[in-house]
Amino acid sequence: MEEGKGRVCVTGGTGFIGSWIIKRLLQAGYSVNATVRPHPEQKKDLSFLTNLPGASQKLQILNADLNNAESFKDAIEGCIGVFHVASPMDFEKNEPEEIVTKRSVDGALGILKACVASKTVKRVIYTSSASANSFNGKEDEVKDESSWSDVDYLRTSKTFGLWTYAISKTLTEKAVLEFGEQNGLDVVTLIPTFVVGPFICPNLPGSILSSFYFAFGDKDPIGYLQTPMVHVDDVARAQIFLLEHPNPKERYNCSACFATLEKVLEVISVKYPEFHVPTIDSLKERNDLKFPDLSSKKLMDAGFEFKYGLEEMLTDAIACCKEKGYL
Ligand SMILES: NC(=O)c1ccc[n+]([C@@H]2O[C@H](COP(=O)([O-])OP(=O)(O)OC[C@H]3O[C@@H](n4cnc5c(N)ncnc54)[C@H](OP(=O)(O)O)[C@@H]3O)[C@@H](O)[C@H]2O)c1
């Protein structure tokens, strides 16, 4: 019998969100099986995980890859809960839509089959994305959990630059909910919006790069004029909240605030005059995306409380980037 709160599995342990969930789970008294993708060419330094408080007793790291749906079996065996967080985020590869989607759906279903076979897993929390519910041609509406992105609309309009990703997240979220329903497995999904905040993973997370691209002197990989946002710690807390909730159902949006780029620039220019933020006037010429807002009413009605606002998301992220030498 496992000591503490029991053993759970987190896929994508090297990622921005996955590693933060692991940190929070260890703090909360869980034992964690984290999966990482095997990189035979270059051995990855995982000390940012193995040095976490409690890791030496409670963290196990196992190899698994979404390209091999069976590879998650060992990591899931004996767990009471599974957080499926891993997702290919290497957008610059420009892989065809069918390949991205097949990997994501087959990988997720392989994980769910291993959960059923384990006979120990009580609940699976799948990390979806606002891109799975935001794009359906009605981007001026505030989206609740009844909204789904329209795959045909994404394919033809390509409004969202990362449309192949959005399609893969939409179809994977639908597939995991359907699998849960058909196989009597308790599957819930968390739908974070743009995630910002501090990070323990070694790479600079893409969503942080996009939040204040101008400070990095880079081209913005996403490009937004307005977007809903959430702090990474609130995302991790919401994941654990859903694991521990007596009876969660289906999908939960997870978004703490709705930010315009203008507001982001205002916060940053006041706090960090050393960054040469673009002028408000220059924004008028930008043809970037206006993401719709997402309502987190369902999550809050279930009892979840967000802890962080926009200013903390930005200042926590910038402090961490400075500490790690990115800024
Ligand atoms: N960041 C956001 O703003 C945001 C917003 C909404 C939803 N999400 C969702 O949150 C999840 C995590 O995103 P993130 O921002 O933390 O991204 P991230 O830092 O890039 O993490 C992605 C993780 O997935 C792993 N991965 C990629 N391809 C894989 C494969 N073929 N097999 C197994 N693992 C693989 C990566 O492993 P390697 O280290 O080996 O590459 C990494 O651990 C994703 O599901 C994403 O869709 C993110």
Model pLDDT for residues 116-150, shown as the tens digit of each residue: 999 999 999 999 999 999 999 998 899 999 999 99
Which one has a higher pLDDT value, 224 or 205?
205
Residues 251, 314 contacting (CB under 8 angstroms) = no
Residue 198 in contact with residue 322, Cβ under 8 Å?
no
Task: Give the distance (Å) from ligand 1 centre to CA of residue 101.
Answer: 14
Q: How far apart are CA 115 and CA 13, in angstroms?
A: 18
Which domains occur in the chain, in start order? 7-196+230-255+292-309 (3.40.50.720)
Token pair, residue 106, equals: 């087959």
Which residue bears the tokens 């926009």?
A: 310
CB atoms within 10 A of CB 140: 8
pLDDT band at 224 (very low <50, low <70, confident <90, very high): confident
Q: Which of 29-43, 71-85, 268-282 has the highest mean pLDDT?
A: 71-85
Let me know: does 29 contact 5? Beta carbons within 8 Å.
yes
Ligand 1 centroid distance, CA of 282 (Å): 32
**Cα–Cα distance for residue pair 140/243, rounded to 1 Å:** 32
Predicted confidence (pLDDT) per residue in 258-292, tens digit? 998 889 989 998 999 888 888 878 777 777 788 99
Report the chain's terminal Cα–Cα distance, integer Å: 46
Average pLDDT over the chain, rounded to whole?
93
The minimum-distance atom of ligand 1 relative to the CA of 86 is 24
Please give the distance, rounded to the nearest whole angstrom, from the Cα atom of residue 90 to the centre of ligand 1: 9
- How large a percentage of the chain has pLDDT more than 90? 76
Q: Which residues line ligand 1 (CB under 6 A)?
A: 12, 14-18, 37, 65-67, 85-89, 127, 129-130, 169, 192, 194-195, 201, 205, 207
CA distance 212 to 216: 7
Q: What pLDDT, on a 0 to 100 scale, did the predictor assign at position 295? A: 98
Q: What pLDDT, on a 0 to 100 scale, did the predictor assign at position 296?
A: 98
* 47, pLDDT greater than 80: yes
> Please, which pLDDT band fits residue 41 given cuts at 50, 70 and 90?
confident
Alpha helices in 119-205 (DSSP H): 151-157, 163-183
pLDDT confidence of residue 290: 85
Cα–ligand 1 centroid distance for 319 (angstroms): 22
- The answer on pLDDT for 57 being more than 80 is yes
At 305 the pLDDT is 98
Ranking 30-44, 64-78, 125-139 by mean pLDDT, the lowest is: 30-44
More confident of the two residues 20 and 275: 20
Taking residues 105-118, what's their average pLDDT? 98
- Ligand 1 pocket test, pick from 87, 102, 210 with the greatest ligand atom count within 8 Å of Cβ, gives 87
Consecutive H or E run containing 252: strand 251-254
Residue 90's pLDDT is 72
Given a cut of 60, whether residue 300 has pLDDT beyond it is yes
* DSSP helix/strand/coil, 285: coil
* CA distance linking residue 184 with residue 177, whole number of Å: 11
Q: Residue with structure tokens 């899931």? A: 76
